[in-house]
Amino acid sequence: MQNILDGIELKEQNTDFEVRSLDTICINESNLQHPWWYNLKYLFAGILFGILLVKAEVISWFRIQEMFRMQSFHMYGVIGSAVVVGAISIWLIKKFKIKTIHGEAIELHSKKFNKGQIIGGLIFGFGWALTGACPGPLFALIGNGATVIIAVLLSAVAGTWVYGLIRDKLPH
């Protein structure tokens, strides 16, 4: 009896962890409570990032087509060098146990593999090549003056909503 209970408990814990790891990707790890205006620092970080997206031309539909047709090194160079800089930064943060500006220890959660990364990844790849934009560039393109991208963004929100609606029925 005890064994069975242990088994159930373990299974529940595992499922819970799996759901959490699916849900927590890119989610806030901070436990600190701050007034809302502390979020303005992320607005400024976003402004810098938005400038970069435009100046790097990575929000260009043409550049995305060049990448997928292997006709230019540009996108590979941008993504590749961004990953190298990001990896070195995370390595330094871990090695020197660097804390946030509020003195909190930096937490990084590992992602769990599930079939969604393959199926969802392919689906996103299709959408990326069609629209020439991933989620960040959608916001940047609207700022760039392409107002019709508002419709694309709303459709992306709808896609996310439908995923949430039918998530239980999808293979993970």
Per CB under 8 A, contacts with another protein among 61-90 are 61-69, 71-75, 77-87, 89-90
- Is 17 one of the binding residues for another protein (CB under 8 A)? no
Min separation Cβ 4 and another protein, Å: 27
Cα angle 110-44-25, degrees, rounded to a multiple of 5: 20
Nearer to another protein, 6 or 57 (CB): 57
C-beta of 5 vs 145, nearer to another protein: 145
* Rounded distance between C-alpha atoms, residue 38 and residue 67, angstroms: 38
Q: What is the 3-state secondary structure (H, E, C) of 26-79?
A: CCCCCCCCCCHHHHHHHHHHHHHHHHHHHHCCCCCHHHHHHHHCCCCCHHHHHH
Binding mask 97-136 for another protein (x = CB under 8 A): -x-xxx-x-xxxxxxxxx-xxxxxxxxxxxxxxxxxxxxx
CA distance 145 to 49: 17
Site for another protein in 21-50 (CB under 8 A): 22-23, 25-30, 32, 34, 36, 38-50
Q: How far is the CB of 13 from another protein (least distance, A)?
A: 19
- Determine if 12 is a binding residue for another protein (CB under 8 A): no
Query: Do residues 112 and 18 make contact, with C-beta atoms less than 8 angstroms apart?
Result: yes
